[in-house]
Copies of this chain bind each other. A is one copy, B any other.
Amino acid sequence: MSRAISPILLNGNWQMSAGTRHFQAFNPATRQPLPQLFPISDWSDIEMALTAAKQAQWDLMQLPHERRASFLEKYAERLEGRRKELAATAAAETGLAEEGRLLGVELPRTIDQLRQAAQAVREREWMQAIIDTKHQLRSMLIPIGPVAIFGPNNFPFAYNAISGGDFASAVAAGNAVLAKGHPLHPATTSLLAGECLDALRETGLPPQTVQMVFHLEAADGLRLVQDPRLGAVAFTGSRRGGLALKAAADQVGKPIFLEMGSLNPVILLPGALEERFEDILKTVSGSCLLGMGQFCTNPGLLFMIEGPATERFLDMMANTYAHAPLAPLLSQDVQKQLMESLKSWIDAGAKLKTGGRPSDQKGFSFENTLCIVDSERFHERGSQLQKEAFGNATLVVLHKDVNDVARSINSLEGQLAGSIFSHTQEADEDAYRQLAPLLRQKVGRLLNDKMTTGVVVSAAQNHGGPYPATGHPFFTAVGMPSSIRRFTMLACYDNVRPYRLPEELRDKNPTGSMLRRIDGVWTKGDVTPSTHF
């Protein structure tokens, strides 16, 4: 008996994909395929999606901002209403804990992010309206065109191409979206898309505003990012995938915003260990193993200085690792790649302290793994030892002294985040003063006495950083309204007649509370004859 294949969201409707291939998700906890069949789209799906998205982009530009704000809120509300079903579906596809992680953290975060985006749409601060009355020049940020979003495997909601931060930001800016779900959690993406479509309809946005496909051929992905109808691309995932899309986008000058993972080094200074040994041991072990280490901000790299305290710390950490419960990894592929990265570390001279093998205890799982390497090897074999091991494996680099740590920091690639733990009094201050400026240049977010894992949705957040953690260190993927600007272009109006200006650039403040820069002064007021030059 042939089973039905799930439809995709194209041109405002659920439609059958024209693709002839299909796939199934796996339950990582049972290692068994899930029954539902999902299509791998072919180019004709993408062609239709691009045409619909381009048309929706024009339509969106005619509609008041309030519609987008309402949509984002309605969508958030609908997700809240179906949270149990969403969490259960995502748990089956990802092996992530249904209560603690999905219901308790990720869904609320996703819902909150959509609401923050709605607020940003209303406030319009992200538009950066600037008025120069003397020269009759007015400028602001406008949507960049339809945005293709490629979602990652590890956050079925908060980074899902149809519900996550990229989605919320792209829609907030006024863009139509072409969402490419991750093939590890298609049923979750399908549920989200259903709520999304209903929310579009209920709030009067064009239903073509959002297209969703579950999967596509790699070649079609490259063709998609080069298509002239597309304005920009967002990608979260592996470096290999990201760099392939980047090369295609770069070739045609298409803005692409990438988040390609990171080692997120954590430096434990001796004074901190001396002062808060137990506390740091618990914090570090907990953070490194959180969610089986499957976060882009997972601290995969610890820098320590040799000594008896460090030895004791690592012994106890290994003990914690050996006894900490396992949970399934997201997929067999994650398990396999973790093994490969580990092999690369060991080939380069790292020594296994604990773990090191796949485990069949809990689905596709892996023993909690701690490796140790000396700084000399780390400097010599950087490319192998800086290979990300996505999952529950940690590499500790042992240094002779602070200068040696400085050298390691200088050898690092760009990172999302990095942290320094130091004594609360003077003990580590010289070391901090030497190391922090070096680390500052390598990371998007610098932390003190705290692990890198949590990424609060805040205007002051930076979930970004120097290449190859991302594609451009000016932009952040998390935080409202700052993450919105990725999906905009700067538009100047020079001597444009007042009645033809967008309302944000007219003399009268469009909301009475929008912040604009008028002749050098940020104000919520109007342009008045007295403010004119």
Contacts and interface: CB of A to CB of B under 8 A. Distances in A.
Contacts of A142: 440
Contact of A492 (B132, B437, B462): B462
A446 B441 CA distance: 37
Given A250-B250, A491-B444, A492-B444, A137 B437 contact: no
Contacts of A135: 456, 458, 460
Interface in A101-151: 130-132, 134-135, 137-139, 141-142, 144-145
A253 B458 CA distance: 27
Given A138-B460, A522-B515, A446 B490 contact: no
B490 A447 contact: no
A440, A447, A460, A482: most-surrounded residue (chain B CB, <10 A): A460
A307 B136 CA distance: 33
Contacts of A482: 130, 490
Interface string A426-469: 00000010001100110011111110000010111110101110
A459 B137 CA distance: 9
A432 B491 CA distance: 17
A456 to B, nearest CB: 5
Contacts of A517: 459-460
A61 interface: yes
A68 interface: no
A397 to B, nearest CB: 20
Interface string A231-253: 00000000000000011001011
Nearest to A502: B440
Interface in A479-533: 482, 485, 488-497, 500, 515, 517, 520, 522
Contacts of A31: none
A461 B137 contact: yes
B488 A474 contact: yes
A255 B446 contact: no
Contacts of A476: 490, 492
A448 B255 contact: no
A473 interface: yes
B460 A489 contact: no
B448 A496 contact: yes
A444 B140 CA distance: 11
Interface string A144-175: 11000000000000000000000000000000
B131 A255 contact: no
A449, A485, A493: most-surrounded residue (chain B CB, <10 A): A493
Contact of A462 (B134, B414, B448, B491): B491
A221 interface: no
A328 interface: no
A130, A246, A417, A494: most-surrounded residue (chain B CB, <10 A): A494
A145 B440 CA distance: 12
A352 to B, nearest CB: 32
Nearest to A255: B472
A302 B142 CA distance: 26
A254 interface: yes
A39 interface: no
A356 interface: no
A38 interface: no
A475 interface: yes
A471 to B, nearest CB: 6
A414 B488 CA distance: 15
Contact of A145 (B139, B441, B450, B490): B441
B131 A460 contact: yes
A373 to B, nearest CB: 23
A462, A467, A472: most-surrounded residue (chain B CB, <10 A): A462
A267 to B, nearest CB: 14
A255 B473 contact: yes
Contacts of A456: 132, 135, 137
A61 B437 contact: yes
A12 B499 CA distance: 54
Contacts of A490: 444, 462, 464, 473-476, 482
A449 B494 CA distance: 9
A437 B61 CA distance: 9
Contact of A496 (B444, B446, B492): B446
A521 B447 CA distance: 24
B246 A462 contact: no
A491 B137 contact: no
27 contacts: A61-B437, A130-B460, A131-B460, A134-B458, A135-B456, A137-B456, A138-B460, A139-B460, A141-B474, A247-B250, A253-B467, A254-B467, A417-B494, A444-B490, A444-B491, A445-B493, A446-B493, A446-B494, A446-B496, A447-B496, A462-B491, A473-B489, A473-B490, A474-B485, A474-B489, A476-B490, A522-B522
Q: Rank and list the top 4 A-B pairs by shortest CB-CB distance, nearest first.
A: A253-B467, A462-B492, A473-B489, A132-B460
Given A255-B474, A461-B492, A462-B492, 4 more contacts: A138-B460, A139-B460, A449-B495, A474-B489
